[in-house]
Amino acid sequence: MPEPGCTIDVMNPAVFNWGPVAVIVGGYLLGIYFQNRSSAQVNKRIDDLRNELHGRFTDTNGRLSDMNNRFSDMNNRISRFEGGVDNRFSDLRDFIHSEIRRVEDRIDRLERPILRS
């Protein structure tokens, strides 16, 4: 019981009604602040990842162009080798034809001997 002469202060009804709302709004504002800060960190990390991936793709493209150069060099070497092989086969074919003609000429001479008197 209150003592005589003391008044009991009653809480202002506006504070009583708007107090929880103020706490909730304050929580939302803190959440928005920290969310923006963490999203800025996430955006920075995404940019770093994007730059790293771009660097890797650039490196991969460089390696692929090197491989293309090597394959074109190898293709040129094979073409030159094939040309040399073709020349060797044509030379071998000519040699075989000449040997066959020589053997046929000898066989002809054996069949028709030259008579000397």
- Specify the pLDDT at position 96: 92
Q: Which stretches of the chain are assigned E, i.e. beta strand?
A: none
8: which residues sit within 8 A by CB, 6+ positions away? Answer: 2
In a domain, 9, yes or no: no
The one-letter amino acid at 113:
P
Tell me how far CA of residue 106 lies from CA of 93, 98, 111, 113, 117, in angstroms.
20, 12, 9, 10, 21
Cα→Cα distances 101→14, 48, 114, Å: 126, 79, 19
Residue 79: the pLDDT is 82
Q: Residue 8's pLDDT is what?
A: 62
Q: Is residue 87 included in any domain, yes or no?
A: yes
What pLDDT, on a 0 to 100 scale, did the predictor assign at position 6?
63
Domain count for the chain, please give it.
Answer: 1
Range of the domain at 55: 51-109
- What span, in angstroms and rounded, lies between the C-alpha atoms of 2 and 11? 16
User: For residue 94, is it within any domain?
Assistant: yes
* Any domain includes 95: yes
Does any domain span residue 13?
A: no
The answer to whether residue 55 is domain-embedded is: yes
Q: Is residue 36 part of a domain?
A: no
Q: What Rg, from alpha-carbon coordinates, does the chain have?
A: 50
Flag whether 22 is in a domain. Answer: no
Per-residue model confidence as pLDDT tens for the chain (117 residues): 556 666 666 666 766 778 888 899 999 898 888 877 777 788 888 899 999 999 999 999 999 999 999 999 998 888 887 777 778 888 888 999 999 999 998 888 877 766 665
Only one residue has tokens 């990842």, namely 49
Q: What is the pTM of this model?
A: 0.38
